[in-house]
């Protein structure tokens, strides 16, 4: 659409042949051809886009790095994709204030590296941390293996810079953990998936970098024992900084078709545990831990140096990519159940005959349930299987998404299964903050 050519402070892509990459993210969905893709270089571009969107009735779809798994950044009908990859700004670390300022365009890996270079730690670590953008992680409230100890992105955000429906840039929050002048509007934007406006940057909370790691590869003799372990560890005062797992079916896939190192893995199921507390490499700590793990372990490998630690993590990092390559049309969900209900959840999956394999973040009950044959399954049956899965998680006190969000992929299920009061409140907020519905139309609510 040439109408966007004269936009200030922006690069515009409007040739249909150049728009194809923006019709995809990492979900199984595809978007509709947008009117254009705009890469803003300053607030004037966003202000003008908001003005025109309201005057001409089109929608604005924010996009980070496009690694989302819920279709949240995909263009819907009559929309312009606003791609933040060229948004300006630098990462600035303030060790005195234990915080860091960064633009939405900053790759998450650069944010984490900038903190680390000053001996500080920004914990959020989605497994896409080497490819996703900070803005996308804020908009989706991303989590990762570290969430079981450190929480999600929202727990590490002090202030959010955002451009809202008034076309103005605002900063919500300050560079301190103590800020109580009314409810936090910044937190309202975290996890809002682009529904309320554009996030242009943020001030993030940091903590001293852990200095010690104990990383263990734990093949277990019996799968059922693994399901008890997160609760037993927490009950005994051991809080892992990560507790990842592969169920027997995923382990079998890895063993049969995975890389060389995966083929040698013993056990019925597999876990990776990491502890990063001060003292976690001491003999006393390890002895206590091994007393708990020993009885369930088939074999146990404890990393004794950084190279071994990396080797253990490499198995985890490649799993979703490996499964995606082998089953390109699979559907991967990210439900959550409380740690204490894990056994009941897997018993329910068996009872409902949901043909799933599962891996993910056992330490906080966030499970990547994968329907590998989704592409070959009758769509009505697949919908039923997914609804059964979500209903089961919710019936056990969990939720249908722990980290990927709702976007387009889970919108129908979210609307059908959520408390009606929750949906009413979200719609009222949307109406108040975006009365003309210009931001990310057709998503979530």
Ligand X SMILES: Cc1cc2nc3c(=O)[nH]c(=O)nc-3n(C[C@H](O)[C@H](O)[C@H](O)COP(=O)(O)OP(=O)(O)OC[C@H]3O[C@@H](n4cnc5c(N)ncnc54)[C@H](O)[C@@H]3O)c2cc1C
Interface with ligand X (CB under 6 A), residue from 137, 215, 358, 385: 137
Task: Indicate whether 323 belongs to the interface with ligand X (CB under 6 A).
Answer: no
Any contact of residue 67 with ligand X (CB under 6 A)?
yes
* CB of 86 vs ligand X, minimal distance in Å: 12
| Residue with the shortest CB distance to ligand X | 136
| Residue from the set 47, 63, 205, 339 that interacts with ligand X by CB under 6 A | 63
Give the list of residues 6+ apart from residue 164 with CB closer than 8 angstroms, or none.
170, 196, 197, 198, 433
* Interaction between residue 40 and ligand X (CB under 6 A): no
CA 235 – CA 213 distance, rounded (Å): 21
**Nearest approach, Cβ of 139 to ligand X (angstroms)?**
3
By the 8 A CB rule, do 253 and 357 touch?
yes
- Can you tell me which of 35, 101, 128, 184 binds ligand X, judged by CB under 6 A? 128
Report whether 213 contacts 276 (CB < 8 A): yes
User: Torsion-angle region of residue 267: left (phi > 0), alpha (psi -120 to 50) or beta?
Assistant: left
- Residue 442 binds ligand X, judged by CB under 6 A: no
In the bound state with ligand X, the residue whose beta carbon lies nearer, of 280 and 440, is 440
Q: Are 268 and 248 in contact (CB under 8 A)?
A: yes
- Choose between 38 and 289: whose C-beta lies nearer to ligand X: 38
The residue among 135 and 219 lying less far from ligand X, judged by its C-beta, is 135
Q: What residues between 140 and 159 interact with ligand X by CB under 6 A? A: 140, 142-144
Place of tokens 């592409």: 375
Instruction: Out of 440, 441, 442, 445, point to the residue binding ligand X (CB under 6 A).
Output: 440
Q: Is the Cβ–Cβ distance between 84 and 133 less than 8 Å?
A: yes
Q: Which stretch binds ligand X (CB under 6 A): 10-18, 125-133, 170-178, 297-305?
A: 125-133
Rounded CA separation 410/34 (Å) = 22
Q: Which is nearer to ligand X, 156 or 293 (CB)?
A: 156
CA distances to 8, 50, 90, 361 from 86, rounded to whole Å, are: 14, 18, 12, 33
Near ligand X by CB under 6 A: residue from 72, 103, 191, 348 = 72
327 binds ligand X (CB under 6 A): no
Helix (H, G, I), strand (E, B) or coil at 271: strand
Residue ranges in 10-29 that form contacts with ligand X under rule CB under 6 A: 25-26
- CB atoms closer than 10 angstroms to residue 62: 23
Piece in contact with ligand X (CB under 6 A), picked from 139-147, 297-305, 306-314, 346-354 = 139-147
- When binding is defined by CB under 6 A, the residue of 126, 186, 267, 348 that contacts ligand X is 126
Q: Beta partners for 393? A: none
Write the CA distances from 354 to 289, 320, 345, integer angstroms: 35, 20, 12
Q: Which residue from 79, 127, 241, 280 is in contact with ligand X, where contact means CB under 6 A?
A: 127
193 binds ligand X (CB under 6 A): yes
| Subset of 397-426 contacting ligand X (CB under 6 A) | 403-404, 407
Taking CB under 6 A as the criterion, the residue among 45, 133, 250, 400 binding ligand X is 133
Planar angle of CA 146, 123, 72, nearest 5 degrees: 80
Distance CA 184, CA 186 (A): 5
Residue ranges in 292-321 that form contacts with ligand X under rule CB under 6 A: 320-321
Q: What distances in angstroms separate CA 148 from CA 130, 151, 304, one per listed residue?
A: 20, 6, 23
Please, which residue, 84 or 275, has the CB nearer to ligand X?
84
Q: How many chain residues interact with ligand X (CB under 6 A)?
A: 38
Question: Which range binds ligand X by CB under 6 A, 56-64, 204-212, 244-252, 375-383?
Answer: 56-64
Q: State which residue, 9 or 228, has the beta carbon closest to ligand X.
A: 9
408 close to 70: Cβ distance less than 8 angstroms: yes
Ramachandran bin of 218, using left for φ above 0, alpha for ψ from -120 to 50, beta for the remaining angles: beta
Q: Whole-angstrom Cα distance, residue 64 to residue 111?
A: 15
Please report, as ranges, the residues that interact with ligand X according to CB under 6 A: 25-26, 61-69, 72-73, 84, 104, 126-128, 132-133, 135-137, 139-140, 142-144, 193-194, 198-199, 320-321, 403-404, 407, 440
């Amino acid at each position: 659409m040439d109408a966007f050519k004269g936009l200030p402070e922006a690069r515009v892509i409007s040739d249909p042949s150049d728009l194809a990459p923006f019709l995809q993210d990492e979900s199984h969905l595809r978007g509709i051809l947008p009117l254009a893709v705009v890469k803003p270089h300053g607030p004037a571009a966003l202000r003008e886009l908001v003005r025109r969107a309201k005057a001409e009735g089109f929608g604005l779809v924010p996009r980070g790095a496009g690694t989302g798994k819920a279709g949240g950044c995909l263009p819907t009908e009559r929309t312009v994709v606003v791609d933040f990859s060229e948004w300006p700004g630098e990462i600035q670390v303030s060790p005195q204030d234990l915080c860091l300022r960064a633009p939405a365009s900053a790759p998450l890996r650069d944010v984490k590296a900038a903190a680390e270079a000053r001996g500080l730690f920004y914990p959020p670590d989605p497994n896409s941390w080497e490819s996703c953008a900070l803005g996308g992680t804020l908009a989706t409230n991303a989590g990762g293996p570290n969430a079981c100890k450190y929480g999600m992105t929202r727990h590490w955000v002090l202030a959010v810079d955002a451009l809202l429906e008034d076309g103005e840039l605002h900063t919500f929050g300050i560079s301190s953990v103590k800020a109580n002048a009314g409810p936090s509007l910044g937190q309202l934007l975290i996890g809002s998936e682009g529904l309320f406006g554009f996030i242009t940057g943020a001030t993030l909370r940091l903590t001293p970098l852990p200095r010690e790691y104990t990383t263990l590869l734990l093949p277990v003799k019996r799968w059922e024992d693994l399901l008890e372990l997160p609760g037993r560890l927490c009950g005994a005062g051991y809080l892992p900084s990560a507790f990842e797992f592969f169920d027997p079916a995923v382990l079998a896939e890895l063993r049969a078709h995975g890389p060389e190192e995966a083929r040698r893995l013993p056990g019925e199921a597999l876990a990776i545990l990491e502890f990063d507390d001060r003292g976690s490499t001491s003999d006393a700590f390890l002895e206590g831990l091994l007393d708990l793990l020993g009885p369930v372990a088939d074999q146990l490998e404890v990393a004794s140096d950084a190279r071994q630690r990396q080797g253990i993590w490499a198995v985890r990092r490649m799993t979703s990519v490996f499964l995606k390559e082998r089953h390109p049309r699979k559907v991967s969900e990210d439900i959550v159940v409380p740690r204490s209900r894990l056994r009941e959840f897997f018993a329910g999956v068996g009872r409902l005959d949901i043909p799933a394999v599962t891996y993910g973040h056992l330490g906080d009950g966030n499970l990547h349930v994968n329907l590998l044959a989704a592409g070959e399954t009758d769509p009505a049956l697949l919908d039923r299987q997914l609804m059964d899965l979500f209903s089961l998680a919710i019936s056990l006190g969990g939720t249908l998404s722990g980290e990927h969000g709702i976007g387009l992929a889970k919108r129908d299920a979210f609307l059908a299964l959520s408390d009606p009061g929750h949906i009413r409140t979200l719609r009222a907020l949307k109406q108040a903050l975006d009365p003309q519905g210009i931001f990310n139309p057709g998503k979530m609510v």
